[in-house]
Amino acid sequence: MSTVTGTPGATPKYTKKDFESDQDVRWCPGCGDYAILSAVQKTMPSLGIPKENIVFISGIGCSSRFPYYMNTYGFHTIHGRAPALATGLKLARPELKVFVVTGDGDGLSIGGNHLLHVLRRNVDVTILLFNNRIYGLTKGQYSPTSELGKVTKSTPMGSADRPLSPCAFALAAGATFVARTVDRNIGHMEETLRSASAHKGAAFVEILQNCNVYNDLAWNVLYDKDSKILHECRLEHGKPITFGPADDRRGLVLEGVKPKVVKVKDVAERTLWVHDSTDRATAMLLAQLWAPDYPIPLGTLLSLKGETTYEEILVQQEQKAISDRGPGDIAKLLMAGETWKIG
């Protein structure tokens, strides 16, 4: 049961169950979406925000069923357009906490243009992109993140498209918070979700997620125990970027602007690349590293604080316009300038 204080202005005290809706969760058994849903529901109480001030907005795809399963307000919108709806909501009700839930197809294919603009404008929304490298809802076609040569129902001879890096896209578009996590690491996912939710501005989280029906073990490099030890790289601001087993630790050094993998025991600690989550250029380098030649960075790649949000700018403009000219008159505006009467 909820333990909300009932005291005006007091921080609400919820449990995970307070954010579970009464809807039957309908994803394929074994889908990574279940773990993400549970992690989000567990994270919500820590935000200290009343449920009625939280909104989940989705487009189309398996991930887009998300609003039905959250006991908050929500919109299930149209394909790729969730960022546009989220922007409109933040302009109308800037005090709300808005989440956008999307997938690699919904967000980066038909919705790529809309995702680009919500990020570059720095709208204060938290975007969760589930990346399973496939179209799941429409039964296994290749997506913008599918690897080159991927054989699917829509590419029987192998995909000729080069895959898009969601984090690199978000960084280039201007997001002020960018992170990556994985569905099978619950603790890390919850930690990443809390950091993204606390960020003021456009926060983007790529969640590597398994589709066990149409693209099973696409992220096996981070699922298999032995491979995970060799390739998973946890980023921590202000600390050297290292990875690998304890008895054979590896790290990254920069040769000019190119990262190089070295054995930690063979180099001076001061030469190791220290992660700076306030630098967009180095975050872009990290976003494009991948196995087998490099480790796979997980965690916060970029976190810029104090950036003005889109809605703050527009609210200031509105207030200045009212101050300078007084309240607007929509009828007068419509009849302003040259008008024509037909018939």
* Mean pLDDT value across residues 329-333: 84
2 pLDDT more than 50: no
Band the pLDDT of 331: cuts 50, 70, 90: confident
Average pLDDT of the chain, as a whole number: 95
Cα–Cα distance between 75 and 159 in angstroms, integer?
33
Distances (CA, A) of 31 to 27, 136, 138, 151, 234: 6, 10, 15, 21, 24
**250-276 residues labelled b (16+ CB within 10 A) or e (exposed):** bbbbeeeeebeebebeeeeeeebbebe
Tell which residue, 104, 138, 111, has the closest CA to residue 214: 138
Domain residue spans of the chain: 16-218
pLDDT of res. 341:
82
125 pLDDT more than 90: yes
- What torsion do the CA atoms of 146, 151, 153, 156 make, to the nearest 10 degrees? 130
pLDDT of res. 6:
60
Structure tokens at 246: 């304890």
pLDDT of res. 58:
98
Where on the phi/psi map is residue 337: left (φ > 0), alpha (ψ -120 to 50), or beta? Answer: left
Q: Report pLDDT digits (tens) over 155-191.
A: 999 999 999 999 999 999 999 999 999 999 999 999 9
Q: Report pLDDT digits (tens) over 5-58.
A: 566 667 779 999 999 999 999 999 999 999 999 999 999 999 999 999 999 999
Q: Report pLDDT digits (tens) over 186-215.
A: 999 999 999 999 999 999 999 999 999 999
Distances (CA, A) of 250 to 257, 260, 267, 304: 19, 10, 10, 28
Cα–Cα distance between 134 and 152 in angstroms, integer?
9
Contact yes or no for 115/83 (Cβ under 8 A) = yes
Please, what CATH class does the domain formed by 16-218 belong to? alpha beta
* Mean pLDDT value across residues 221-243: 97
pLDDT of res. 116:
97
Determine what percent of the chain is predicted with pLDDT higher than 90.
Answer: 88
Band the pLDDT of 4: cuts 50, 70, 90: low
3-state DSSP assignment of residue 173: helix
pLDDT of res. 56:
98
**DSSP letters spanning 51-64:** GGGEEEEE-SSGGG
Distances (CA, A) of 59 to 8, 33, 130, 142, 307: 35, 15, 12, 18, 27
The more confident residue out of 311 and 339 is 311
pTM: 0.93
292: preceding bond cis by omega (within 30 degrees): yes
User: How many Cβ atoms from other residues are within 10 Å of residue 119's Cβ?
Assistant: 25
The more confident residue out of 154 and 334 is 154
In the chain, what's the furthest Cα-to-Cα distance?
86
pLDDT of res. 338:
85
pLDDT of res. 60:
97
330 pLDDT more than 90: no
Q: Report pLDDT digits (tens) over 242-299.
A: 999 999 999 999 999 899 999 999 999 999 999 999 999 999 999 999 999 999 999 9
Reported for 46-51, long-range contacts at CB under 8 A and 24+ positions apart, including other chains, are 46/194, 47/97, 47/194, 47/197, 47/198, 48/11, 48/12, 49/12, 49/97, 50/12, 51/12, 51/14, 51/18, 51/19
1 pLDDT more than 60: no
Sequence-ordered strand ranges (E) for 45-197: 54-58, 73-76, 97-103, 126-131, 177-182
pLDDT of res. 321:
87
Cα–Cα distance between 164 and 133 in angstroms, integer?
10
